[in-house]
Amino acid sequence: MELSAEVVSSLFDPVNLLFMVLGVAGGIIVGALPGLTATMALALMLPFTFSMDPEAALIMLGGIYIGAIYGGSISAILINTPGTPSSIATTFDGYPLARKGKAEHALVTAAFSSGVGGILGGLALLFFSPMLAKLALQFGPPEFFWIALFGLTIIATLSTGSVLKGFIGGAFGMLISTIGIAPIGGESRFTFGFAPLQGGLDLIVVLIGLFCIPEVIAMVEKRDLSGKASLHRRTKGAARSMIGQLVKKPALFFRSSVVGIITGIIPGAGGNVASLLSYDVTVRLSRDKSTFGQGNPEGVAASETSNNAEVGGSLIPLLSLGIPGAPPAAVLLGALMIQGITPGPDLYSRYPDLVFLFIWAFILANGVMFLLGFFGARYVGQIINLPTHYLAPVIVMLSVVGSYAIRNNLLDVIMMVGFGVFGYWAKRWGFEPAPIVLGLILGPIAEAGLTQSMLMGQAQGSVWGVFVTRPVTLMLILLCVLSLLWPILGRIRRGAKPSDRDQGGSDDASVHR
Amino acid sequence: MRGLVKTGSGKGSSVFAEALHCFSNFDKEGCPVFKNRHLRMHLLLIGLLLLTACAPSSAGEGREYPRHPITYMIPFEPGGQSDIEARRQQPVLEEELGQKVVITYKPGAGGAVGWSELVRQKPDGYYMAGINIPHIILQPLANDDTGYRTDQIEPIVIFQSTPVGLAVRKDSGIRSLEEFIEKAKEKPGAITVAGSGTFSGHHLAFERLQQLAGIRMKYVPFTGGATQMQGFLGGNTDAILANSNDLVAYRDRIQLLAIGSDERFGPLPDVPTFKELGYDMTASIDRGVAVPAGTPPGIKETLEKAFKKIADDPEIREQMMKEGFEPKAMGIAESEAYIEGKIEEHKPLIEMMK
Amino acid sequence: MRRSIGKECVLALLVTATGTFALWETWDLNPLSAIFPQTVGGILAGLGLFHLVGSLLRPVVEQRNGAGGRRRGLLLIASMAVYVVLIPMIGFLMATLMFTGFTVWALQGGKVEPPRRVGRAVLFSIAISTGCFLLFRYVFLVPFPAGIWGSWGSGLL
């Protein structure tokens, strides 16, 4: 917590500031490109940090991390493709806003929320690290299993169409997540002897395929007379009025940040889940649920606040224990090791100045990111004004390149297109991409949690006992039950008026939500 | 260029909007830039030049090999240990070989995706990959569709050894391997040991220890060094079989019982080896570099020389020790013999485990 | 009415079939590898059956989509497929040039004069493909597939 003279002077050192701004800007760009994630952006910069001072290296990497997580919202809003998996929930309301011509509103909301979330995450990192790091260790295999299950209960909230089809989608997502070598059993599943499939399906490939391609195809089909996908009218003062509205909702930001920070602390849960959880909580607690999914800025705010807060959260176990809370944090770990610094329990005592400099620079970087996002929103929003015959090929091209760049694997590109076509037809049948992707994300967590816990249980004499006897587990089970019963409780409270989400058989064959 | 400004319709004064506008209304007004023939020719020329720039660069001054950049593939995610090692080696390699070394990643299936890619490459010395032992031995033995066979990979060097050690938490009250084995005998199947991966080096070490000590424990596989450490520290397992670098990082918090190196391990001098405690086993994860089978011996020797130079560099050796690794310098012949030996050692165990 | 019931029923059967397939395919794996896919497969099959019953009891009215748009959509899908197939054959840059050029040209159909269509398409395609290629190849250091004609697409070797 010390703000020693050295830390302050290093913080405002022009070289460090320059690296910070470059990092944030670069991160935003990379995050905005579909297929390129925060992890990749960090990995790209990793070799350059070799020759830099540890301070500058960390500051730049921190800037990239936070910039990339924000950048993901840009493509999520404009083309319904989460630029990074942590922005999946931003598409739910961000894209509808863009389609209504309010892209700038959405982008400003995202920038502001990301900034707030990131700062709160950084503050948690600064003040609550020791306490929260202990929390990280409380999560073991049984807890992971219940977290995954809890995550799956969100599917009901996410489905604006048929909830049953949502759950089918989720189950399907979990099934395809098993393709490849079993993490616990070691045998390969569903590979049909085809070696490249051993690596399984990459999340981002499926993400791009399911979220982006169907929209592009629909965009091409639905082209209106001017040849444009939608019209972005620049309203004067939109940005400022948006901020005015957002500032009136501190509870939303605080709550979303907390969700993000806690999710970030838990290694393995990852930022992908943070935005979805926060979105879910916000929807459940709001008075008018039907506006969500149609373009309610609060949805964007909830999602973006938590995924940036998660960044700070993921750094807590990294700096306190040497355990990265999310894949990008793992690359940061590598960067530290290249510098000869091994993060571990004694990092704070061995390199206090470096650690605090990094944390403060991280907080500052969020401000930089907000400014860039705020002022850039009006320009960026106009991208969707390009006529469809230019926009569609560019998006497809970026999708192809992006999906190739993930693992340098052509199979991924084929998968992406395959899932794209699949997603297009699935939409016609009433299946939305979000539950499938959620299943894909949570499947491995649930599986590892399940099998590891079973092994632990066998050793303790009771295979299933281990799932229900630990304090954190019990709390999570309670959350699951609450989550499932919530809609029913809500209905009881509101009287006999049925919500129109639960009609299992109804779904329209039109492609858009 | 004046034409560009004139066609702006006052939508906004940003240049970006102008460019978009010009582009979008191509058909209505045309773009002055492209109407000018000279400019068109210039643009076409620039375009062609750009395309030719993508053609192969003819570097190298009369050397036989290497004549152009070499790909160094890491079959894991960036930021991992193999990546860090490659980054350490890269500058020296480039200097020794006189060509750029491009590091690429092909993660998946614990390295299997990358290695199956390796064996499909032309054995011309321009594609090499980091390898891990026992991974490249165990994976083809464990599954039929791994995509490669161990004999399709020809090692150039083994430059690092990461001994695997056994540890328990400080509050467990266990101070030595003997006490640990006693406890395991008292409650067969009840002691849980965290490890990384199934049919992996840790798993193998676990089975061997069980065999040699005549005990029965429970192996709980995790998906990586970080998750296994987190699971262990959180109290979910009683013990952990971890890589030496992880053990070194946490050595103040955990009680180390034994290490799997041949002799006492430099960075952890107080920890006895399994061997000296009477259990004839070694356990380690070794890192090396390899090329596809069939690569000409001359090329292999050139690479070997370059890697040997790195392996003998005292600074690099010291860095590795500090981080908790054991530097090695096994050339082609030594590495091949080592791998053969390990195959013999592991085959029966894997058959039993399956 | 019968046609609508048929569609949802087919879907439900497909879902059930997928779940059952998962169960069958993982039958001979060791318990630890199999338990999760089997559980999920079982759930999937169960949900499929549930939906089957539901759709039999509740017939649904279908909506139709505009036909003209469909053709453009299918065109895009087809050109995407060709693009992906071309990448390993002629290299990334070439394939991208061809894809973007073709798609920009084809999607303008019916509104723009042919000569201008081609002109726009070619210029835009060159600009955007080359730009993207350079960015990813030299800034992000992504090694693109070279194709059977050697280095045109990748520029690496």
CB contact under 8 A, A393 and C55: no
Choose from B54, B100, B101 for mutation: most chain C CBs within 10 A. Answer: B54
Q: Say which of B145, B227, B322 has its CB closest to residue A195.
A: B145
3-state secondary structure chain C: CHHHHHHHHHHHHHHHHHHHHHHHHCCCCCHHHHHHHHHHHHHHHHHHHHHHHHHHHCCCCCCCCCHHHHHHHHHHHHHHHHHHHHHHHHCHHHHHHHHHHHHHHHHCCCCCCHHHHHHHHHHHHHHHHHHHHHHHHHHCCCCCCCCCCCCCCCCCC
CB contact under 8 A, A139 and B234: yes
**Is residue A323 within 8 angstroms of chain B, CB to CB?**
yes
- The interface pTM score, or ipTM, of the predicted complex is 0.86
Alpha-helical segments (H) within A322-351: 327-338, 347-350
Which residue of chain C comes nearest to A190, CA vs CA? C25
**Is residue B71 within 8 angstroms of chain C, CB to CB?**
yes
Choose from C126, C139, C149, C154 for mutation: most chain B CBs within 10 A. Answer: C126
Burial-class residue B333 by CB neighbours within 10 Å (0-12, 13-18, 19+).
exposed
CB contact under 8 A, A429 and C15: no
Contact between A405 and A40 (Cβ < 8 Å): yes
Closest-CA distance, A461 to chain B, in angstroms, reads 8
Closest-CA distance, B223 to chain C, in angstroms, reads 14
Peptide bond just before A34 cis, omega within 30 deg: no
Q: How far is CA A325 from the centre of its chain?
A: 13
CB contact under 8 A, B55 and C151: yes
Q: Is the dihedral of CA A124, A130, A133, A134 positive or negative?
A: negative
What is the structure's pLDDT at A158?
Answer: 79
Q: Which residues of C touch A34 (CB under 8 A)?
A: none
A310 vs C144: which has the higher pLDDT:
A310
What is the structure's pLDDT at C78?
Answer: 92
Q: Measuring CA to CA, which residue among A203, A181, A177 is closest to residue A191?
A: A181
3-state secondary structure B132-169: EECHHHHHHHHCCCCCCCHHHEEEEEEEEEEEEEEEEE
Contact between B196 and B329 (Cβ < 8 Å): no
* Residue B272 DSSP label: P
Question: Which residues of chain B, if any, have pLDDT below 50?
Answer: 1-16, 18, 22-24, 26-31, 33-34, 53-62
Half-sphere exposure of A44 (CA within 13 A, CB side): 26
CB contact under 8 A, A509 and C104: no
Contact between A87 and A109 (Cβ < 8 Å): no
What is the structure's pLDDT at B61?
Answer: 41
Q: Which residues of C touch A178 (CB under 8 A)?
A: 36-37, 40
The residue behind tokens 């592991």 is B346
What is the structure's pLDDT at B45?
Answer: 60
What is the structure's pLDDT at A495?
Answer: 65
Q: Measuring CA to CA, which residue among A134, A401, A117, A394 is closest to residue A250?
A: A117
CB contact under 8 A, C100 and A393: yes
Q: Measuring CA to CA, which residue among A63, A51, A57 is closest to residue A26?
A: A63
Helix/strand/coil percentages in chain B, nearest 5: 45, 20, 30
To 5 degrees, how large is the angle CA A31–CA A32–CA A34?
90
**Is residue A186 within 8 angstroms of chain B, CB to CB?**
yes
Contact between B226 and B205 (Cβ < 8 Å): no
pLDDT category at C44 given cuts 50, 70, 90 is very high
Q: Spell out the domain ranges in chain A.
A: 8-136+241-385
Contact between A105 and B198 (Cβ < 8 Å): no
pLDDT, tens only, C71-105: 888 888 999 999 999 888 888 888 888 888 888 88
For residue B276, give the amino acid letter.
E
CB contact under 8 A, C133 and B54: yes
Choose from A401, A408, A427, A436 for mutation: most chain C CBs within 10 A. Answer: A401
Within the 63-82 window of chain B, which residues sit less than 8 Å (CB to CB) from chain A? 77-80
Q: Which residues of A touch B147 (CB under 8 A)?
A: 195-196, 198
What is the structure's pLDDT at B115?
Answer: 93
Helical pair A327-338 and B81-97, crossing angle rounded to 10 deg: 50
The residue behind tokens 């199956």 is B116
Helix (H, G, I), strand (E, B) or coil at B174: coil
Does residue C34 carry a pLDDT above 60? yes
Q: How far apart are CA A225 and CA A462, in angstroms?
A: 67
Peptide bond just before A141 cis, omega within 30 deg: no
Helix/strand/coil percentages in chain A, nearest 5: 75, 0, 25
pLDDT category at C155 given cuts 50, 70, 90 is very low
* Residue A84 DSSP label: S
Question: Which residues of chain A, if any, have pLDDT below 70?
Answer: 1-3, 223-236, 270-271, 494-513
Beta-strand ranges (E) seen in A94-229 are 180-181, 188-189
Tokens of A264: 């970030």
**Is residue C143 within 8 angstroms of chain B, CB to CB?**
yes
What is the structure's pLDDT at A197?
Answer: 84
Q: How far apart are CA C152 and CA C154, in angstroms?
A: 6
Q: How far apart are CA A23 and CA A46, in angstroms?
A: 12
Closest-CA distance, B58 to chain A, in angstroms, reads 25
**Domains defined for chain B, CATH in brackets:** 2-53 (no CATH), 70-161+286-353 (3.40.190.150), 162-284 (3.40.190.10)
Tokens of B351: 């058959």
What is the structure's pLDDT at A51?
Answer: 80
Q: Say which of C93, C112, C120 has its CB closest to residue B54.
A: C93
Q: Which residues of B touch A459 (CB under 8 A)?
A: 189-192, 217-218, 220
**Is residue B192 within 8 angstroms of chain A, CB to CB?**
yes
Closest-CA distance, B169 to chain A, in angstroms, reads 14
Tokens of A170: 């989720």
Contact between A199 and A463 (Cβ < 8 Å): no
Closest-CA distance, B39 to chain A, in angstroms, reads 23
Partners of residue B105 on adjacent β-strands: B74
Half-sphere exposure of B293 (CA within 13 A, CB side): 10
Q: How far apart are CA B72 and CA B88, in angstroms?
A: 13
Strands A188-189 and A180-181: antiparallel
- Other C-beta atoms within 10 Å of B42: how many? 11
Tokens of A161: 């169409």
Q: Measuring CA to CA, which residue among A202, A179, A201, A182 is closest to residue A191?
A: A179
Range B100-104 contact pairs with CB under 8 angstroms and sequence separation of 24 or more:
B100/B69, B100/B70, B101/B69, B101/B70, B101/B71, B101/B72, B102/B69, B102/B70, B102/B71, B102/B72, B102/C141, B102/C143, B102/C156, B103/A47, B103/B72, B103/B73, B103/B74, B104/A408, B104/B71, B104/B72, B104/B73, B104/B74, B104/C141, B104/C143
A335 vs C61: which has the higher pLDDT:
A335
Tokens of B279: 């259990």
Tokens of B239: 């013990």
